[in-house]
Amino acid sequence: MDRTRAFFDRLVAWSPVFLLGGLAGLTYWLDAQVQAPPSHRDGSARHDPDLFLQDFRAVMFDERGHPSQALAASKAEHFPDNDTAELVDPRLSLTQSGQPRLTITADRGVMSGDREHGDFAGDVRVVRDADPTPGRPGEQPTGPLTLATSLLHVFTHDERVTTDQPVTIEEPRGIIHGRGLVYDNKTKRVRIDSQVRGTLEPRAVPDPQAVTR
């Protein structure tokens, strides 16, 4: 009994020390949670390039072995911190089966690592090849289309381009100016957001009764 009492007396005597130690440990843990993680000294946290390429061209193929995407540039730098490639004089070509080829050129560009997204700036031009397939029954095939702007975002997989900048569209039927655009190459639809002006001749629809001799 005396031993048990002596043990509890010592435990009570040391209890302030245990309490202070627990508080110190809790304070250290809380401080570690709110502190920013230590910066790495290997350069991975900086926006520094780890790869340089000159006059390069890369091609992606679809499951049937046909070229679906080609990217070329006079200069490219890859940045590991966000897995992007910054390009000088980029040229991006998208060729999906059954769709007219879409080619985008610019003064400079940035492509994501998975090549699903791209931003192009400067003298941006988009050229869609002539489409041999009519959009609706009775329509004539559409000719080539050229789009010019200063800033463009590209969704490569969806073959869709967007911009909020002034844009000019030219095709055999005429020319259209506007501001803000969404163009879908798969559906062949163009939407201009505002300030639309220009001239566009109606597309000729052949007379089904006409007989060609």
Task: Check if the beta carbon of residue 98 is closer than 8 Å to that of residue 134.
Answer: no
* Residue 38 falls inside a structural domain: no
- Considering 114-118, 137-141, 149-153, the range whose residues carry the highest mean pLDDT is 149-153
* Residue 40 falls inside a structural domain: no
Counting the structural domains of the chain, the total is 2
For residue 213, the model assigns a pLDDT of: 41
Q: Show Cβ contacts of residue 208 under 8 Å, excluding neighbours closer than 6 positions.
A: 138
Tokens of 179: 């501001």
For residue 191, the model assigns a pLDDT of: 93
Indicate whether 108 and 194 sit together in one domain: yes
Indicate whether 185 and 118 sit together in one domain: yes
* Residue 162 falls inside a structural domain: yes
Residues 63-73: tens digit of each pLDDT: 777 788 899 99
Tokens 């939407």 map to which residue? 191
Indicate whether 102 and 171 sit together in one domain: yes
Q: pTM higher than 0.75, yes or no?
A: no
Indicate whether 13 and 79 sit together in one domain: no
* Residue 210 falls inside a structural domain: no
pLDDT at 149 > cutoff 60: yes
Tokens of 69: 């995407």
* Residue 129 falls inside a structural domain: yes
pLDDT at 62 > cutoff 90: no
State which amino acid sits at residue 104. I
Handedness of CA 118, 184, 168, 57 (dihedral sign): positive
Indicate whether 68 and 129 sit together in one domain: yes
Report the candidate in 146, 96, 171, 85 with the shortest Cα–Cα distance to residue 120. Answer: 85
Range 132-157 average pLDDT? 77
Residues 71-108: tens digit of each pLDDT: 999 999 998 888 899 999 999 999 876 778 899 999 99
Of residues 24 and 142, more confidence is placed in 142
Q: 85 is in which domain, residue-wise?
A: 51-200
Max distance between CA atoms of the chain, in angstroms, equals: 125
Indicate whether 26 and 74 sit together in one domain: no
Indicate whether 151 and 195 sit together in one domain: yes
| CA pair distance 144, 172, nearest whole angstrom | 7
